[in-house]
Amino acid sequence: MMKLHDIQLSAKPATAKRNFLAKSLMIATASLTLSAVALPAAAATWWDATPHIAIGSRTINVKNTGAKGNGSHDDTAAIQRAINALPRSGGTVYVPAGRYMINALKPLRLRSHTRLKLDPNAELRVIPNGASRYVVVKVFNVNNVAIVGGKITGDRARHKGSRGEWGYGINISGSDHVLVRNVRISEFWGDGMWIGATGKGRRLDRSNYVTVNNVTSSHNRRQGLSIGPSQHVYIVNSTFQNTRGTLPEAGIDFEPQDQGPVNTVRVENNTFANNRGNGVEVHTNVSGVTFTRNRFTSNRGFGLMSISAHHLTLTGNHATRNGLAGLRMSARTHHASIRGNTLQYNSTRYMSPARAGGATSRDIQIGNKTYAISRSNNTLSPRRK
């Protein structure tokens, strides 16, 4: 394929040169026309930290459907009864303060136009099991759902099995217009949260317009959050920390691979700290992700690592004291803009964070198979004099 920088004008006859320029002008005009068509969708501000979620007007208190919240009674069926008792127009299921034990092998299934609202002192806690896979709150093929407040706690310290890595706090799959806000998620056998799709191939139904705002996902075994096939995902004002137990042990892992694409994602003003793996890792089949004003600190791996993702924007982020480089663009990552970031005193597994750096590679690394990577106005560790 001819690239712009490959075009050279040599001394040609005037007619040939005019024909060449005319053809080039036609190509450029066609490109601008296509850009004009595509630009509005790409440029639109689609993200909102407090999106409108259409919730029904009725409210049901789970205590009125038999939930006890005493830390010993299995409240799974009672809470599901409250969800099921809402009319087709949906509504709010309110969980008062208390500890509600949940059989995660029979997850709470939310319906469309429903809000699960937990008191700040309410906790959904997993009854220990030996399964390789479980979910506390399941949001599958529905729309207009909110999960707000409280704590959701797994069983990792009391888990009865040793296999698998798929115990989730919240699993959002094939759903549209979902908000998770002010929730503390911790101690899961697998991931604190999953956002992805249902179905496969031509029947793949990706999640769309999912907002995660002011969520803390901490000390989960596999990831704080995993992202599978989805689009229009906004992660903001949240913390992903202390992931450790089984690989990859990242704060967030974009891992759709061959399941389907992830695109149009914004990750803004979050903290990724003390994860055993990378703060964030971004794999193949991921594009159109913006990382802005995030903090990557004290992760054992890279602050952020891309493995063959493309069309990434990284601006205004701060990465420091990570075990490996602050940023790593690897494999066939391409079309990434890295500008205005502060990346200092990283690679602490190899050098003292208190000493000036010297080599750029301690803070930012660009693999030799990557291409179209631009860097500008980044602040790196000062060189030793």
Instruction: Please tell me the distance from the alpha carbon of residue 302 to that of residue 279, in angstroms, as a whole number.
Output: 6
In this prediction, residue 109 has a pLDDT band, given cuts at 50, 70 and 90, of: very high
- pLDDT, tens only, 224-277: 999 999 999 999 999 999 999 999 999 999 999 899 999 999 999 999 999 999
- pLDDT, tens only, 136-149: 999 999 999 999 99
Query: Beta strands 191-198 and 205-213: pairing type?
Result: antiparallel
Q: Report pLDDT for 24.
A: 42
C-alpha distances (whole Å) from 288 to each of 54, 230, 303, 308 are 27, 12, 19, 13
Lowest mean pLDDT among 3-12, 31-40, 68-77, 208-217: 3-12
SS3 content of the chain, % helix, strand, coil (to 5): 15, 45, 45
Check whether 16 has a pLDDT greater than 50: no
Instruction: Please tell me the distance from the alpha carbon of residue 80 to that of residue 108, in angstroms, as a whole number.
Output: 6
CATH class of the region 113-380 = mainly beta
**Alpha helix segments (H runs only) across the chain:** 14-43, 76-85
> What's the token pair of residue 373?
């990577």
Q: Report pLDDT for 385.
A: 56
Instruction: Please tell me the distance from the alpha carbon of residue 128 to that of residue 178, in angstroms, as a whole number.
Output: 28
In this prediction, residue 381 has a pLDDT band, given cuts at 50, 70 and 90, of: very high
Question: Domain boundaries in the chain?
Answer: 113-380
Check whether 284 has a pLDDT greater than 70: yes
Query: Residue 62 is inside which H or E element, if any?
Result: none
Computed from CA positions of residues 99, 151, 154, 322, in that sequence, does the dihedral angle turn out positive or negative?
Answer: negative
> What's the token pair of residue 244?
């450790």
Check whether 68 has a pLDDT greater than 70: yes
- The proportion of the chain whose per-residue pLDDT surpasses 70, expressed as a percent, equals 86
- Which residue has tokens 């999912």? 210
Q: Report pLDDT for 352.
A: 77
Q: What is the pTM of this model?
A: 0.88
Please report the DSSP string for 40-99 in residue order.
Answer: HHHHS----SS------SEEEEGGGGT---EEEEE-HHHHHHHHHHS-TT-EEEEE-SEE
In this prediction, residue 354 has a pLDDT band, given cuts at 50, 70 and 90, of: low
Instruction: Please tell me the distance from the alpha carbon of residue 174 to that of residue 199, in angstroms, as a whole number.
Output: 8
- Report which DSSP code applies to 257: G
CA 265 to chain centre: 8
In this prediction, residue 360 has a pLDDT band, given cuts at 50, 70 and 90, of: confident
Average pLDDT for 295-309: 98
Q: What is the mean pLDDT of the chain?
A: 90
Average pLDDT for 74-83: 98
- pLDDT, tens only, 41-66: 444 799 999 999 999 999 999 999 99
C-alpha distances (whole Å) from 105 to each of 140, 168, 178 are 15, 11, 23
Q: Report pLDDT for 351.
A: 82
Query: Residue 287 is inside which H or E element, if any?
Result: strand 286-292
In this prediction, residue 383 has a pLDDT band, given cuts at 50, 70 and 90, of: confident
Instruction: Please tell me the distance from the alpha carbon of residue 270 to that of residue 199, in angstroms, as a whole number.
Output: 31
